[in-house]
Structure 1
C-alpha cells in the first residue's frame, strides 16, 4: 500500500505540475506584446527531448514551420531563435545594445579565453575597443587589400588540387572546408608562415578545427541547466579544454614568431591580420589597446565562427 501511495502521489504531482506549466506557457504566449510562436515541449525539459543530434538542422526545420522568429524552451532557458538575415541585422546591429550580454555557452567561454573576443564579450569599454579595432584597422579596405594575395594563393592551390584529380571523384565538402580554413589562417597569420613551416602549422590547426566546430554545435546540458554546469555531465567543457591546449600552443608559436619578425620588411600584399594587431599592441600613443589574450580570442572567433 505504501508503494502504491508513493506512486499515486508522484503521478498526481507530476500531472499538477504539467498543468501549471502548460497554463503558464500559454499565458506567456498570449502576453502583451505576445511572445513569438513556437513548440511547447515538456515540463522542465522543454523541447530538449525533440532536438535530435543536429541542433542547427532542427532549428531550420522549426523555422520553416513557425516562421523567421520563434520561441523555444530548452531546459531552464527560454530562447528566441532568429532565422532571417533582416532580423539578424536588426538584432546584432540596429538594436545591439538591447540584445548585448547574451548567455555564453560553456564551450564559448573556454574557446574565447574567458569571453575575451568581440562576439561573447560583455558590452563594455573592452568590447568597444575591440570593435573599433575590427572596423578601423582589420576590416577596412586597405587591410583587406593587403591580404588579397594571401587569399588568392590558397584559392589557386585548391583549384590545382581539383585539376590534378581530373577523371577521379573529388569530395567537394571537405575540400571547401579546408580551403576556407586555410584562407582564414592565411589572413590571420599567413604572411610570415610559408613553405614547410606554414604547412605544419596549418595541418595541426586543420586537424583540431573540425572538432572545435562540432563542440560549438553540440547541445550541452550545462547550457540548458546552469545549476548543473559544474558537473559537466557530457564532458563537453573538458573536451574543449583539451583541444584548446593544442590550439593555444599553435597561437603562441605563431604570435611569438610574428613578434620576432615585427620589425622586418613586409612583402607587398602579404600583410596579415596578426601583423596589424601586434602593431596596435606596440603603439605607445594609440587610443585603443589590445592584450595577447584578446588577440588569441579574436583568432578563434575569426577562424571558426
Structure 2
C-alpha cells in the first residue's frame, strides 16, 4: 500500500483527476446543449469514474462497449445485493442457490476478471516486446514490478489473484 497509494503517487495523479473532471463537465455540458432534456448525472458520473479508474490502474481508457458492460454489471450487482435472498432466511437451502443469485453474481465477477486479465496480459506482452518498454508507471506497473521482485518469506505474494482482488476491491487474496 505504501508504494501504490502513497501521497507522492496520489500527487502524481492529480493531473489525471483534473482531466477526468474537465471531461465530466464537458460531457454534462454537451448533453445539456444537445438535447435540452435533463442530464442523467448518475450515468455521466459513472462513465467518468470508469475513465478515472481505467487510466489510474491501466493508463488507458476502456473502450465504450466495455465501459457500458461494466456499467450494466454494476447495476445488476446492485440489484443482486439488494434482492431479498431466501438463503438468508433459511441457511439450510443456501447451497441450492434457489434464486440463482450466486450464479448470476459469479458471472459478473468472472467477466470483470476477464477484463482485468486482458489488461494484465496486454501489459505483460508489452513488457516482453522490444526490451525496455515505455513505462506507464500506473498501478498495474507497480504491481507487476512487485510480483517480479518479491522476496521469499516477505509475507505478501503479489500474483494475479492478488492483483484481481486489489483491482476488484475485494478482501479475498486467495486464488479461487
Counterparts of 1:218 and 1:137, CA distance in 2:
38
With the length of structure 2 as denominator, give the TM-score of the two structures.
0.76
Q: Residue deviations 1:79-113, cap 9 Å, x none?
A: xxxxxxxxxxxxxxxxxxxxxxxxxxxxxxxxxxx
Counterparts of 1:216 and 1:188, CA distance in 2:
26
Which residue is equivalent to 2:24? Answer: 158
Counterparts of 1:150 and 1:201, CA distance in 2:
21
**Among residues 141, 147, 156, which one is paired with 1:275 in the alignment?**
141
- Following superposition, the deviation at residue 235 of structure 1 comes to 1.0
**Among residues 162, 165, 175, which one is paired with 1:294 in the alignment?**
162
Verify the 8 A CA contact 1:212 1:243 in the aligned structure 2.
Answer: yes
Asked if 1:142 corresponds to 2:11, the answer is no
Aligned residues between the structures = 161
- Following superposition, the deviation at residue 138 of structure 1 comes to 1.9
User: Alpha carbons of 1:209 and 1:150: their partners in 2 closer, same or farther (altered >3 Å)?
Assistant: farther
Q: Where does 1:5-84 land on structure 2 (aligned, <5 Å)? A: none
User: Which of the two has higher C-alpha Rg?
Assistant: 1
Asked if 1:209 corresponds to 2:82, the answer is no
- Following superposition, the deviation at residue 239 of structure 1 comes to 0.6
- Following superposition, the deviation at residue 283 of structure 1 comes to 0.9
Which residue is equivalent to 1:177? Answer: 46
Counterparts of 2:126 and 2:113, CA distance in 1:
20
Gaps of 5+ in 1: 1-133
Q: Which structure 1 residue ranges, 4+ long, deviate > 4 Å from structure 2? A: none
Q: Secondary structure at the match of 1:138?
A: coil
- Following superposition, the deviation at residue 200 of structure 1 comes to 4.4
Asked if 1:266 corresponds to 2:131, the answer is no
Gaps of 5+ in 2: 171-176
Which residue is equivalent to 1:218? Answer: 83
With the length of structure 1 as denominator, give the TM-score of the two structures.
0.47
Which residue is equivalent to 2:97? Answer: 232
- Following superposition, the deviation at residue 187 of structure 1 comes to 2.0
Verify the 8 A CA contact 1:185 1:202 in the aligned structure 2.
Answer: no
Counterparts of 2:56 and 2:30, CA distance in 1:
26
Q: Where does 1:100-111 land on structure 2 (aligned, <5 Å)? A: none
- Following superposition, the deviation at residue 158 of structure 1 comes to 1.2
Counterparts of 1:264 and 1:217, CA distance in 2:
45
Counterparts of 1:244 and 1:284, CA distance in 2:
27
